A and B are shown apart, each in its own frame.
Chain A
Amino acid sequence: QSALTQPASVSGSPGQSITISCTGTSSDVGGYNYVSWYQQHPGKAPKLMIYEVTNRPSGVSNRFSGSKSGNTASLTISGLQAEDEADYYCSSYTSSSTLFYVFGTGTKVTVL
Chain B
Amino acid sequence: QLQLQESGPGLVKPSETLSLTCTVSGGSITSSTYYWGWIRQPPGKGLEWIGRIYYSGSTYYNPSLKSRVTISVDTSKNQFSLKLSSVTAADTAVYYCVSLNYYYYYMDVWGKGTTVTVSS
User: B-contacting residues of A (Cβ < 8 Å)?
Assistant: 1, 3, 34, 36, 38, 45-48, 51-52, 57, 89, 91-93, 98-106
Q: Is the pair A1, B62 in contact by a Cβ cutoff of 8 Å?
A: yes
Knowing A45-B113, A99-B63, A100-B52 are in contact, say whether A106-B106 is a contact too (CB < 8 A).
Answer: no
Closest to B4 in A: A45
CA distance A102 to B46 in the complex (A): 12
CA distance A102 to B49 in the complex (A): 7
CB-CB under 8 A from A47, the residues of chain B are 110
Q: Is the pair A101, B49 in contact by a Cβ cutoff of 8 Å?
A: yes
Knowing A45-B112, A46-B110 are in contact, say whether A3-B105 is a contact too (CB < 8 A).
Answer: no
CB-CB under 8 A from B100, the residues of chain A are 101
Q: Is the pair B49, A100 in contact by a Cβ cutoff of 8 Å?
A: yes
Q: Is the pair B110, A36 in contact by a Cβ cutoff of 8 Å?
A: no
Q: Is the pair B47, A89 in contact by a Cβ cutoff of 8 Å?
A: yes
Checking B64, B96, B104 against A34 with a beta-carbon cut-off of 8 angstroms, the contacting residue is: B104
Q: Is the pair B105, A36 in contact by a Cβ cutoff of 8 Å?
A: yes
Given contacts A91-B47, A99-B63, A101-B105, 7 further A-B contacts (CB under 8 A): A38-B47, A45-B96, A46-B107, A48-B108, A52-B106, A57-B108, A106-B46
